[in-house]
Amino acid sequence: MKQVSIKQVAELAGVSIATVSRCLNEPSRVREKTRLRVQDAIVRTGYEPNTLARNFRRGRTNLIMVVLPSVGDPFFTEVLQGIRSVVDAEGYSLIISETQFNTMNADEVGAMLVTRQADGVILLASVFPFGGEVLTRAKRRGQPIVIGCETLSAALADFPSVHIDNIRAAREATEHLLGLGHRRIAFVTAGAGSPLTRDREEGYREAMAAAGETVRPGWVVEGGLSLEGAIRATGDLLTHPERPTAVFCGNDEMALGAMHAIHQDGLNIPGDLSVMGFDDIRYAATASPTLSTIAQPAREIGRRVARRMLNAIDGGPDASARRGEPEIVPHRLVLRNSVAPPPD
């Protein structure tokens, strides 16, 4: 069967080829009466536009790269769902790059960015893994980069971002534990090389200092953002000479690992130790006991990040990808059964 051409559509609709092209690419610029006539001609002829060729002419790939630490993290799964709900409706697809906080795929993915095989990059709680030269070239070309979940480094300060106030949220969580009477509060961090819990640790330390409490050596331990890492880290806390009465974890997955270690040691939560998490992933409300935590609106963060990216791609207010004003979304302190006053 012979392929229908755009010229045949134009002849049937009684318009120019340029008008048909505008109807396909920028329908808002065409009068409704004309647009309906062109749409009718497309249906009657069975015309199918060559999307690949059209995108090539427009300098678009309709692909957005998302860089994140781990695809297995329930929080990032929610953020991705929010992103997809927006970009799918606009005909975009996602390329997912998992860094695991290293640059293993930096050369390959960086080459895609430099050669514009993706229209933009969304960084979710990740350092820019492709090196300073690639970032400089992306800036020079005006290629959109949008940050989601965390503000990470000075090199990325110029780019738009969407996140909660992590310092304030961690401070509120720590203040709640202090208000219950806890003075020996530990913090389980992702690790020295991870930006994910840096601001949360800062908020914890600010609250402890404001209350006149000293963070003892050995009270800040690395859990590596995993159940296994948090189990090992909590084991160190349980054998500490000044064992904490509360453990605040930089994310919920580590909090669940901490709870497992505490139970394995024959201790009660929250009778012997309180546990506080961060993120409010779907498992937090079904843990035993249910986990108190900071709730981030993960899907809403994803939706807002995606809108800023599409706006930048389409030449909106973020078109230069250098409008670094952060968009702060609200967080909530969710209190469940894993925290209580310290034992006598």
Number of neighbouring beta carbons within 10 Å of residue 337:
15
The residue to which tokens 């609250």 are assigned: 207
Cβ atoms within 10 Å, residue 319: 14
Q: Which residue has the higher pLDDT, 97 or 195?
A: 97
pLDDT of residue 19: 87
Report angle CA 218, 335, 301 to the nearest 5 degrees. 90
CA distance 225 to 205: 19
- Fold classification of 62-164+298-313 (topology level): Rossmann fold (3.40.50)
Could you count the other beta carbons within 10 Å of the beta carbon of residue 303? 20
Maximum alpha-carbon separation in the chain = 87
Q: Give ranges for CATH 3.40.50.2300 in the chain.
A: 62-164+298-313, 166-295
Per-residue pLDDT tens over the stretch 227-268:
999 999 999 999 999 999 999 999 999 999 999 999 999 999
Choose from 44-48, 163-167, 170-174, 194-198 the range with maximum mean pLDDT.
170-174
Class of domain 166-295: alpha beta
By three-state DSSP, how is residue 246 classified? strand
Give the tens place of pLDDT for each residue, 135-191.
666 666 667 888 898 755 666 777 888 999 999 999 999 999 999 999 999 999 988
Query: In this predicted structure, what is the pLDDT of residue 104?
Result: 40
Question: Which residues, including other chains, have CB under 8 Å from residue 149's CB and lie 6 or more apart?
Answer: 79, 124, 125, 162, 163, 296, 301
pLDDT for residue 96: 86
Residue 306 amino acid letter: A
335 against 88, higher pLDDT? 335
Q: What are the strands, taking DSSP E only, across 91-231?
A: 93-98, 120-124, 145-148, 161-163, 185-189, 220-222
